[in-house]
Amino acid sequence: MQFKHALTAAAALSLGLSATTFAQEKTFKLLTWADYAPAAVVEQFEKESGYKVEVTLSNNEEMISKLRATGGAGFDLAQPSQDRITGPQKEFGIYKAFDLSKLKTEQFIPSMLEATKKNTMLDGKVYGLPHIWGTEGLVVNTKLTKMSDYPDLCRADVKGKVSMRLKRPTLISFAFAMGKDPFALYNDPKAYTALMEEVGKQLIACKPNVKFYWDNKDQLLNGMRTSEIVAAQMWDTGGWKLNGEISDIQYIAPKSGATGWIDTFALPAKGKNDAAAYAWINFNMRPEIAAKVAASAGNFTGSKGADELTTGKLKEQFKASFPEAAIKNIKWYPAVPAGLEEIEGRILDRVKAAN
């Protein structure tokens, strides 16, 4: 009798473990940003796939901290920015490489996919794929002036009427406008320092044109609204917001290329449900789904053709700002090697202190 009870108990335990394992396999744990997984999209994915989605909202710093603390466990998919992948991977080993054969890569914008693969590659393996992206370029009141590239902010006719940031994106943007490629010098500190010195001199010469160096969005947007400034270095969605209020204000991708950031898809090293992660990525890259995510996030995605399905004013603004050539010319931020921010900081301090 005891033997029979032991068999019954063992069978019950086995069934319990099987049920638990099945439940785990049907659960998909996503670590992402606010608005990147809207409720309607999650609901549709659950209905189509049979997976139950658990969403945890986070940001770059918290994502890395959570994954580092667990050795890459606790989540099946994370969404760090592309410049936050290779560094943490080298140091902490918190991600696993993608099996590209499990992805519908034809759904991605080709240039964006290639750029992200390049910027998240280690030892020939890809650790990141593009999802949400945005850029920084020029926002111009076209009724009051015309501009096509960053050096136009320094023209004599707009003295005291422009704004920019005293941050590294300004150094990078002006370097590209000078015909240089600062990213190509990331691993050559001496050459990079020389280039930043050159950019710093240009920014010091440009200083009389700057009404204020912006450090918060309200200050900048109000400056454009009131025509206190006629042009600024600004992010795309800020420019489109202003365009919705004042049609003469437009976001322009500079001739030398807008600078771009990409929030990616990345597989945590100890994620338990890769199948669900691949299914979520392929689902999100479908143009009709990507258009819904773009509407929620306020930025566009790496899905090929999704912009055509975006409706209303945002679609018009995107097409006006980003013809295909402008998208191909975006300068995507790679990971920043140690020591570069210190070099940039010295240059920015010098610009700030200049009379």
Contacts of 297 (CB under 8 A, 6+ apart): 33, 35, 36, 132
Q: Name the token pair of 187.
A: 């691993």
In order of start, what are the domains of the chain with their CATH numbers?
Answer: 2-133+261-321 (3.40.190.10), 136-259+335-353 (3.40.190.10)
Query: How high does pLDDT run on average in the chain?
Result: 91
pLDDT tens digit sequence for 31-52: 999 999 999 999 999 999 999 9
The counts of H helices and E strands in the chain are 15, 15
Averaged pLDDT, 291-319: 87
- Burial grade of 194 (CB within 10 A; 0-12, 13-18, 19 or more): exposed
Percent of the chain's residues with pLDDT above 90: 77
Cβ contacts of 316-322, under 8 Å, gap ≥ 24: 317/240, 317/243, 317/244, 317/251, 318/240, 320/250, 321/137, 321/236, 321/239, 321/240, 321/250, 321/251, 321/252, 321/253, 322/253
> Stretch 320-331: mean pLDDT, rounded?
90
Q: What is the mean pLDDT of residues 68-80?
A: 97
pTM, full prediction: 0.76
Q: For 154, phi and psi rounded to 5 degrees?
A: -105, 10
Confidence of residue 236 (pLDDT cuts 50, 70, 90): very high
